[in-house]
Amino acid sequence: MEHMGIEKGRLHYSWISSAESTKFVEVVKEVTDAAKAAGPNTNFVKRYMKEAE
Amino acid sequence: MSGNIDRIKEIARGLLETEKVDVVIGFKKGTLPVMSEPTIIRKASDTETLIWDATCRLNLCNYLTGRKDRIGIIAKGCDARNIVGHIVENKIKRDQLVIIGVPCTGMADKKALSDLVGGEVTAYAEAGDQITVKGPAGEKTVSRSEVLQSNCRSCIKRNPVIFDEMAGEPVEELVLENRFADVEKIEAMDAGAKWGYFEELLSGCTRCYACKNACPLCYCPTCFVDESRPQWVGKGTDPIDIRTYHFLRAFHCAGRCTDCGACEAACPMDIKMRAFTRKGVKDCVEKYGWETGMKEGVRPPLDTFKTDDPEAFIR
Amino acid sequence: MTLIRIAKASWDGGLEKARKAYELIGPVPEKDSHKYAVLAEGQLPDMGFKNTKLSPKWVVFPQSEAMFTYTLDGTKENHHILQEVPAAPGARAVIGIRPYDAKAIQLTKMNFDNKDYKDPFWLRNYERCTFVGLAINAPSATDFSTSCGTGPFAEEGLDVLLVDAGEVYIAKVLTEKGKKFLDAAGFGEDAGADAAKTVEDLKAKAEAAITSKVSYNKIQGKTIMDLYDAPFWKDVLFGCINCGTCTYACPTCWCFDIQDEVKGTDGVRVRNWDSCMTALFTHHASGHNPREHEWERTRQRFMHKLKYFLDKYDAGLMCVGCGRCVEQCPANIDIRTVCNTMNAFEPGK
C-alpha cells in the first residue's frame, strides 16, 4: 500500500489473542492516534462527492 | 526465433494426427503487420496457419483456464511459468496438456516499432535476429534486442521450465545487472510523489480491463469489479475507482505474477501497469526467495505459511 | 455550396474570436497520442493529429454523465425527489472531428432520438454542438470508411467540412449552424474558382488510398438465427479476451449502465458507458446470464453492429470503418474479417 502512495501509518496489522485485552487496548489507542495524526484521507473521496461539498 | 516455426508446425501436426490432443492453441498471422492472433487448431492440416515471431505477445496460458479437452499449447518462457501456476492452482490438469516449449528471445514492443517508422507500421518481417519494419518514415531494420518489451528486458527465464516437446535450441538466459531498478525508483519517492506518480501513470485509463483479461492469473468466475451484490468499486471514470481497480488487481497478482507483460501489451492506452505488479514480484523475491512458476508442485508464498515468514509489519 | 478560404496564419486568431461565443473542443496531444478535449483558455487544437484512440462521441455521450442528484435527508429541501442536473449552458464547437465520427453520431442519433424515445441528456448535449469536421487527406491502413457509407471527405452530420489544402483550409459550409460558426470566427473569404477542384482532387486521392474494405450486401438476406447459430463464431472469436477496448474506442457503441454514487444521505445518479463484453452486462437479477460464455458476448457485439442494426433501421452497418477497434484490439480480432465471414457464410453448407 505504501508503494502505491498511501502514507505510512494508515494501515496497521496486528495479531491479538482474545486473552490479550491489555494489548488490544494499546493497539486500538495507537491505531486511532495514528489515524487522527494522519488526518482525513481525501484521496479516496470520489469526485462527485468532492463537488457536492 | 521464427526459425522454430517449422518445428512447431511439425509437432502440432503430429499431435493432432496421432490424436494425442484434441486441439492446439497457438498464434496465427494477424491482420495488422505488428500483430498476431491467438488461434485454436482442430485439424492437422490447419497447423499450416501457425506462426511464431516477436508479435506473439499474449500469454496463451490465459486460454487454458477451465478447459476440459486435451490441449497442445505453444509456450514461451513466461507462458510456461504461468502454466506451472495454473497446474498448482488447479485451473488445468498436467495430463491434459502437451506443452510445446519455445525458447524465447523476447517480444517486440508495438510502440517501439511504430516509433521506429514514425507512425503506422505497414510491413513487418523477421530474419534471424533482425526485424524490418516499414512505415511513413521509410524502412528500418533493427536487431530484436533494440525493440523489446520492457518485461522482456528483465526476463529471468527465456527457456520454458516445463515442456513435453521443445521446438528449438535453448537460448542464453539474460544476465541482469539490477533487475528491479524501476521499482527502486518508485520506492525512493515519498508518499505524495508516489500518489502523483500513479495518478499520472493511470491517466487515460478507460477501465476496458484489457490488462486483467489478458492476464492468465485473472480467472475468477466473477471479478470483484463485476461484483454487484454488493458492489465493491464504482464503475464510472472517477480516478479513485480506476485506482482502486488497479490496486486490487496488483494485490491479487502478488506472488503469482510471472511478469509476462501481457497486461501492458494488451493495453490500448499504453499504460505501464507493471509498475504495480513489479513491486509484488520484487517483494516475493526479497522476502520469500520466491520466483513464480519455476517449479511444479510448490504453492505460492501468499497461499501458504512458514514459521519463519517475515512478520515485522505485524504488531 | 459555399467554399470559404481560411489562411492557416489566420486560423488561431479566428478560433480565439469564436471562443467568445463557443466552448471549443478539439484534438490535443496526450501522452503519445491525441484525444479530443475541451480546450482551455488559450489552448488550440493540434490539427496535425493522425487519429485519436477514443472518438469524440463523449461530447454527446460522456463516459460518465451525472443525470440526477438527490438527498434522503428529510431536513433538506426537495428531499426524496430526483433533481435533474441542469444542462451546461452555451454553444460548443467540435473542431477537427473526423467525417466518420460525425457519421457515427448520426447513427447513434437513431437510437437516442427517434419517434418512440427521445433521450433528453443525449439531445441537450447534441443540440449545443456545431461540428466542424476535418477531412482526412491520408487515411490509415485500417480505415475502411468508404465501404461503411462514409469516407474521408464525407459530409453527413457535419456543419462545416475543413479540407487541409497546404497553406489554407478550404471550408465547405454545410449548414446554417456552420455558417454561424465561421462568421463568429471571422472566416468569410471566398475560396475562389479553383477551390472546388482542389477539394475534389484531394478527395479522390484520399478515397483511392483506402484499400481496406468490407462487404455486407448478403447479410440482410440471411436470417438472424442462421447467423446466430453459424458454426464459425467459436473459432473466429477464439482469441477475444472480452475486454472493453473495442466498445470504448468505437464511435457507434452506445450502451450505458445507470449507477448511483452515494455518500451518506446524498447521491448522484450517473450513467456510464457499458460494454457487452463484460459478464455483468446481461447478468439477470435471478442470477441467470443468457450470455454465459465469452464468445457469446463477442458474437452479440458483432451481431448488433452487423446484423440487428441493419435489420432494424435499414441504414447500413452500425460501423463507420474508423479502424480504431482493429488497431487497438489486444488479440487482433478484426471486425473486417468478422463482417466478411458473416457475409460469405452460406447457411446449411
The DSSP-derived string for C235-260 is: HHTTT----SHHHHH-SS---EEEEE
pTM to 2 decimal places: 0.93
Residue C62 lies in a domain: no
Residues C148 and C250 in one domain: no
DSSP state of C223: -
Alpha-carbon gap, residue C324 to C248, rounded angstroms:
10
Residue C318 lies in a domain: yes
Q: Give residue B310's pLDDT band: very low, low, confident or very high (50, 70, 90).
A: confident
CA distances from C306 to C102, C112, C214, C228, C318 (A): 19, 19, 11, 12, 6
**Distance, first Cα to last Cα, chain C:** 51
B232 contacts on A by Cβ (under 8 Å): none
A45 contacts on B by Cβ (under 8 Å): 240
A34 contacts on B by Cβ (under 8 Å): none
Q: Which of B185, B231, B240 to mutate to test the interface with A (most CBs of A within 10 A)?
A: B240
Block residue for cell numbers 485485552: A21
Q: Give residue B168's pLDDT band: very low, low, confident or very high (50, 70, 90).
A: very high
Chain B, chain C: beta-carbon pairs less than 8 Å apart: 111
| Closest alpha carbon within chain A to B194 | A5
Residue C214 lies in a domain: no
B235 contacts on C by Cβ (under 8 Å): 257, 259, 272
Give residue C62's pLDDT.
96
DSSP state of B2: G
Sheet holding C22-30, edge to edge: C33-38, C22-30, C91-97, C129-134, C160-165, C168-173, C2-7, C189-190
Alpha-carbon gap, residue B173 to B78, rounded angstroms:
13
Nearest residue to B99 via CA among B108, B86, B112: B86
Residue C274 lies in a domain: yes
Q: Which residues contact A46 (CB under 8 A, 6 or more apart)?
A: B234, B238, B240, B241, C261, C263
Give residue A52's pLDDT.
64
The x, y and z cell numbers of residue C2, run together, are 459555399
Q: Which of C263, C265, C269 to mutate to test the interface with A (most CBs of A within 10 A)?
A: C263
Residues C233 and C183 in one domain: no
| Closest alpha carbon within chain A to C261 | A48
CA distances from B149 to B154, B260, B285, B311 (A): 9, 10, 22, 35
Residue C263 contacts A, CB cutoff 8 Å? yes
Give residue A53's pLDDT.
61
Please state, as a whole number, how many other Cβ atoms lie within 10 Å of the Cβ of residue B142: 16
Residue C189 lies in a domain: yes
For residues B8 and B76, the answer to whether their CB atoms sit within 8 Å is: no
Give residue C322's pLDDT.
97
C63 contacts on B by Cβ (under 8 Å): 206, 236-237
Cite the beta strand spans of B102-148 per DSSP E: 123-127, 130-135, 138-143
Q: Which residues contact B303 (CB under 8 A, 6 or more apart)?
A: B255
Give residue C108's pLDDT.
97
- Asked if the model's pLDDT at residue B43 lies above 70, the reply is yes
Q: Which residues contact B167 (CB under 8 A, 6 or more apart)?
A: B4, B7, B8, B11, B52, B74, B100, B101, B102
Alpha-carbon gap, residue B294 to B11, rounded angstroms:
24
Contact A5 B197 (CB under 8 A): yes
What's the residue count for chain B? 315
Residue C78 lies in a domain: no
Strand, coil or helix: C325: helix
Residues C265 and C134 in one domain: no
- Chain C neighbours, 3+ Cβ pairs < 8 A: A, B
Over residues B74-102, the pLDDT tens digits come to 999 999 999 999 999 999 999 999 999 99
A32 contacts on B by Cβ (under 8 Å): none
Contact B240 A2 (CB under 8 A): no
Contact A52 C66 (CB under 8 A): no
What is the rounded average pLDDT of the residues A8-31? 92
CA distances from C194 to B37, B245, C160, C170, C191 (A): 48, 56, 19, 11, 8
CA angle (C65, C66, C68) in 5-degree steps: 145
- Burial class of residue C286 (count of CB atoms within 10 Å of its CB; 0-12, 13-18, 19+): exposed
Q: Give residue A7's pLDDT band: very low, low, confident or very high (50, 70, 90).
A: confident
Residues C35 and C179 in one domain: yes
Give residue B305's pLDDT.
83
Contact A52 C261 (CB under 8 A): no
What's chain B's average pLDDT? Answer: 94
Give residue B229's pLDDT.
81
Chain A, chain C: beta-carbon pairs less than 8 Å apart: 14
Q: Which residues of B touch A (CB under 8 A)?
A: 186-187, 191-198, 234, 238-241, 243, 247, 250, 276, 279, 313-315
Alpha-carbon gap, residue B171 to B158, rounded angstroms:
7
What is the rounded average pLDDT of the residues B237-261? 94
User: Which amino acid belongs to residue C229?
Assistant: D
Block residue for cell numbers 476496458: B208
Alpha-carbon gap, residue C157 to C175, rounded angstroms:
10
Boundary residue ending a domain (C175, C209, C243): C209
C334 contacts on B by Cβ (under 8 Å): 30-32
Residue A33 contacts B, CB cutoff 8 Å? no
Q: How far C263 CA lies from chain A's nearest CA (Å)?
A: 7
Nearest residue to B246 via CA among B285, B280, B221, B284: B280
Query: Which residue ranges of chain C lie beneath pLDDT 70?
Result: none
Boundary residue ending a domain (C187, C209, C231): C209
Residues C143 and C7 in one domain: yes
- Asked if the model's pLDDT at residue B3 lies above 70, the reply is no
CA distances from B130 to B35, B167, B203, B311 (A): 17, 20, 34, 49
Residue C74 lies in a domain: no
Residue C65 contacts A, CB cutoff 8 Å? no
A45 contacts on C by Cβ (under 8 Å): 263
Please state, as a whole number, how many other Cβ atoms lie within 10 Å of the Cβ of residue A21: 10
Alpha-carbon gap, residue B41 to C275, rounded angstroms:
29
Residues C235 and C313 in one domain: yes
Q: Which of A45, A47, A48 to mutate to test the interface with C (most CBs of C within 10 A)?
A: A48
Q: Which of A2, A4, A32 to mutate to test the interface with B (most CBs of B within 10 A)?
A: A4
Contact A4 B192 (CB under 8 A): no
Residue C66 contacts A, CB cutoff 8 Å? yes
Over residues B27-40, the pLDDT tens digits come to 999 999 999 999 99
Residue A50 contacts B, CB cutoff 8 Å? no
Interface ipTM > 0.90: yes
Nearest residue to B128 via CA among B144, B112, B108: B144
Closest in B37, B236, B237 to C332, CB measured = B37
A48 contacts on C by Cβ (under 8 Å): 66, 261, 268, 270
Contact B198 A48 (CB under 8 A): no
Alpha-carbon gap, residue C266 to A52, rounded angstroms:
9
- Asked if the model's pLDDT at residue B1 lies above 60, the reply is no
Three-state secondary structure readout of A1-53: CHHHCCCCCCCCECCCCCCCHHHHHHHHHHHHHHHHHHCCCHHHCCHHHHHHC
Residues C167 and C267 in one domain: no
The number of CA neighbours under 13 Å toward the Cβ of C29 is: 4
Give residue B139's pLDDT.
97
Residues C168 and C29 in one domain: yes
Alpha-carbon gap, residue C138 to C151, rounded angstroms:
12
C30 contacts on B by Cβ (under 8 Å): 204
Residues C308 and C205 in one domain: no
Residue C72 lies in a domain: no
Alpha-carbon gap, residue C343 to C227, rounded angstroms:
9
Q: Which residues contact C225 (CB under 8 A, 6 or more apart)?
A: none
The x, y and z cell numbers of residue C187, run together, are 472566416
Boundary residue ending a domain (C191, C209, C227): C209
Based on the structure, what is the number of domains in chain C?
Answer: 2
What residue numbers bound the domain in which C310 lies? 219-344
A3 contacts on B by Cβ (under 8 Å): 186-187, 194, 279
Give residue B163's pLDDT.
97
Q: How far C59 CA lies from chain B's nearest CA (Å)?
A: 15
Residues C114 and C177 in one domain: yes
Residues C201 and C223 in one domain: no
DSSP state of B140: E
Contact A6 B187 (CB under 8 A): no
What is the rounded average pLDDT of the residues B56-72? 97
Dmax (CA) of chain C: 70
Residues C178 and C260 in one domain: no
